[in-house]
């Protein structure tokens, strides 16, 4: 069987460009912030209570490195006695008591289910980031 050799000219340049944080970092950072905000907003919408510390305590943080690798959406709220109320509702058989379309539904998954509920928007955000990176590539990384 004959040996086959494929040479792709410019592949080194392509790899160098993909490793170039100036090309990817702005779009990735923007994408991470957008997804974190989507998830925080979605968790607030799915929250089992109307007002108070639970909804107000939802926050997000994006990795501070030049090329961010993660974003975190969390809540640090505890009951006055130190009970992790948001976590209890996440695993609880209790029902929503907000006056929304979710009223009467189980609270189970109110926080973790936000990712699945926002998946279409997350995918669109990732596609936009890839398009932005492609546009920067075409402009020579600018």
Q: What is the pLDDT of residues 37-73, one digit of tens each?
A: 999 999 888 877 655 677 788 899 999 998 898 898 8
pLDDT score at 125: 95
pTM of the model: 0.74
Least confident of 53-62, 102-111, 114-123, 129-138: 102-111
Q: What is the pLDDT of residues 90-103, one digit of tens each?
A: 776 666 565 666 66
Q: Is 85 within 8 Å of 54 (Cβ atoms)?
A: yes
> End-to-end distance of the chain based on CA atoms, in angstroms?
46
Question: What are the residues facing 106 on neighbouring strands?
Answer: 95
The Cα 60–Cα 105 span in angstroms is 26
User: DSSP letter string over 117-131?
Assistant: HTHHHHHHHHHHHHH
Q: Position of tokens 């799915």?
A: 46
Question: What are the residues facing 74 on neighbouring strands?
Answer: 59
């Amino acid at each position: 069987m004959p040996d086959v050799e494929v040479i792709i000219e410019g592949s080194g340049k392509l790899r160098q460009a993909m490793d170039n944080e100036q090309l990817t970092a702005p779009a990735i950072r923007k994408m991470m912030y957008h997804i974190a905000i989507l998830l925080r907003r979605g968790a607030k919408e799915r929250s089992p209570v109307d007002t108070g510390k639970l909804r107000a305590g939802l926050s997000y943080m994006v990795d501070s490195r030049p090329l961010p690798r993660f974003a975190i959406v969390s809540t640090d709220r505890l009951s006055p006695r130190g009970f992790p109320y948001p976590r209890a509702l996440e695993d609880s058989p209790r029902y929503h008591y907000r006056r929304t379309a979710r009223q009467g539904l189980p609270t189970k998954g109110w926080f973790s289910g936000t990712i699945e509920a926002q998946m279409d928007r997350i995918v669109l955000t990732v596609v936009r980031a890839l398009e932005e990176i492609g546009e920067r590539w075409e402009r020579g990384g600018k």
